Amino acid sequence: MIKAEDLLFNTVQKALSELYSISTNTVTFQKTRKEFEGDLTLVTFPYIKEAKKSPEVLGQQIGEYLKKNNNDVLSFNVVKGFLNISLTNSFWLNYLNTIKNLSSIGFQKENSTKRTIMLEYSSPNTNKPLHLGHVRNNLLGYSVAQILKACGHKVIKTNIVNDRGIHICKSMLAWRKFGNGETPETAHMKGDHLVGKYYVEFDRAYKKEISDLVQSGKTKEEAEKQAPLILEAQKMLQQWEAGNEEVVNLWKIMNGWVYEGFDKTYKNMGVDFDKMYYESNTYLLGKEMVREGLVKGVFYKKENGSVAIDLTKDGLDEKVVLRSDGTSVYITQDLGTAIERFKEFPDLKQLIYTVGNEQDYHFKVLFLILDKLGYSWAKECYHLSYGMVELPEGKMKSREGTVVDADELIEEMYNTAKVTTEELGKVEGFANEELDELYKMVSMGALKYFILKVDPKKKMLFDPKESIDFNGHTGPFIQYTHARIKSVLRKAGTEYGNVTNSEIVPNPIERELIKWLYDFEAAVSEAGKSYSPAVVANYVYELTKLYNRFYHDHSILKEEIETIKNFRLQLSKTVAQVISNAMSLLGILVPEKM
């Protein structure tokens, strides 16, 4: 497929050489801004010194050369140092004819010149169910993985589960004390919800003990450390680490409940993983690496016996990597896990961690230590940082049981989608099973699009009702447009002929639609470079808006001239394919009818 930039590149090179004796391999085009006429823009400022011409004269002369020597150039205009170039209708029609039957528009095939990337997301704790914050994490990680694949990279999607530690013991201890043998089956609850219930129960009982101790004369700090429940939880953690059979068996049972619950939530969210890691298997990794780092002089031993690294010269702080009692800290595990992953996957070029922005400092330290240890790939590690999700009523707190549960949110979205779809009368001709699938598709499309259209780095406010609007900047609006196009195509039948370029003169909005289709590959590439699904989300919204304008202003099936009708059907079919491809990168399904 010939790109417009490639067609113009050689001609611009010749123009610079013949007109000004300038030899260069650097010719950069950008999309012409909306307020100016043109398809592509050449910035002339880099050449004015050698050409000894003003930007305006340089642009005018290069433009005249292009018009004379390149048949794909229709016209040009110069605004200061910007040469805006309009391509011929033939170029755009040729492009449409090239892609109109492709299902992989905008996607590159995996090849040897691309990288193998491991992308980690989700990373839940096994003491509570997934919540709205996890939803953003999972949807963002999965979508970035899809986008990187579409850019031709090999992607390994991973999840590291925090299945050990004091917080896990809190749920276990509360269940043992207050649970009376309750199971997910007897409680009629998902296993992750049941375990989360006891995490909240622990916090409630712990706070009561603290209050009682404070009333008896202890300070709050003393009470927090001396409360019987926290001492029991700490003892349970020590027993787990020592391999106590009873504690380990309880840990396995309760974690099993949680994994079963997580799997259902992941399935409903439409996300998956290629490789699972568990902190119970990785928490000791990194200790040997610390010993090696001591020998190399990267780390040093402090007076109290702990091991640390001084990062003050790099603008960071001192970081302890091994406690005085020889136990690991969290970053030690992360260092060891990263190194093990590169050993496990020798062709791995990059690690991407999808973690909230409250961990920005942690990852700066992690990557810097790996670099100082001599791992060349450390500079390629990336923290896909994202802002917190808040609700109109404020922040969420796990220990107090005030989080927005992911399963409850998905159910609420389903019910809202059902009510909204039925009120709009978009359910005629559907069997009950089809309606169920439609409501799932619309509800998850609404949830995913609303979250992914926001730049990952920004904090976001999530409003479930606002996300399901068939006329707004939403997933359902885009889904409905796809279904509308498919309805038009079904009515037209499967055959609508081949249209030659000489038979068609596209009107301005048809030309603009083809240009938007052309820009899809660039949008995918930009989203891959910036790790931002928002680029794709906003691209497909603009394409959909433009198509709806076209659909409103121009007849398709009632068009009397057959060649124009066939052209519009082909254009519509290609728009539907690009909508489907773009939404798939966001993990969103699009309906065939609605």
Q: What is the tens place of the pLDDT at every residue in 531-568? A: 999 999 999 999 999 999 999 999 999 999 989 999 99
Predicted local distance difference test score (pLDDT) of residue 501: 66
Predicted local distance difference test score (pLDDT) of residue 402: 55
Q: What is the mean pLDDT of the chain?
A: 92
Q: What is the tens place of the pLDDT at every residue in 127-156? A: 999 998 899 999 999 999 999 999 999 999
Written as six digits, the tokens of 107 are 């996607």
For residues 249 and 3, the model is more confident at 249
Predicted local distance difference test score (pLDDT) of residue 465: 74
Predicted local distance difference test score (pLDDT) of residue 398: 43
Predicted local distance difference test score (pLDDT) of residue 400: 46
Per-residue pLDDT band at 470 (split at 50, 70, 90): confident
In angstroms, the CA 150 to CA 108 distance is 6
> 40-54, 263-277, 416-430, 537-551: which range is least confident on average?
416-430
> 120-134, 292-306, 499-513: which range is least confident on average?
499-513
Predicted local distance difference test score (pLDDT) of residue 399: 43
Q: What is the tens place of the pLDDT at every residue in 39-92? A: 999 999 999 999 999 999 999 999 999 999 999 999 999 999 899 999 999 999
The one-character DSSP state at 378 is: G
In angstroms, the CA 545 to CA 551 distance is 10
> 387-401, 434-448, 483-497, 533-547: which range is least confident on average?
387-401
Q: What is the tens place of the pLDDT at every residue in 187-210? A: 999 999 999 999 999 999 999 999
Q: What is the tens place of the pLDDT at every residue in 230-245? A: 999 999 999 999 999 9
Predicted local distance difference test score (pLDDT) of residue 453: 96
Residue 401 pLDDT greater than 60, yes or no: no
Residue 497 pLDDT greater than 70, yes or no: no
For residues 272 and 28, the model is more confident at 272
In degrees and rounded to multiples of 5, residue 153 shows phi and psi of: -85, 155
In this structure, how many other beta carbons lie within 10 angstroms of the beta carbon of residue 456?
22
Pick from 384, 374, 378, 383: nearest CA to 348: 378
Predicted local distance difference test score (pLDDT) of residue 423: 84
Predicted local distance difference test score (pLDDT) of residue 393: 64
Residues forming a β-bridge with 41: 30, 84
In angstroms, the CA 64 to CA 73 distance is 10
Predicted local distance difference test score (pLDDT) of residue 396: 44
Q: Which amino acid is at 159?
A: N
> In terms of DSSP bridges, do strands 382-386 and 348-356 run parallel, antiparallel, or are they unpaired?
parallel
In degrees and rounded to multiples of 5, residue 43 shows phi and psi of: -85, 120
Q: Give this prediction's pTM.
A: 0.93
For residues 502 and 114, the model is more confident at 114
User: Percentage of the chain surpassing pLDDT 90?
Assistant: 81
User: Percentage of the chain surpassing pLDDT 70?
Assistant: 96
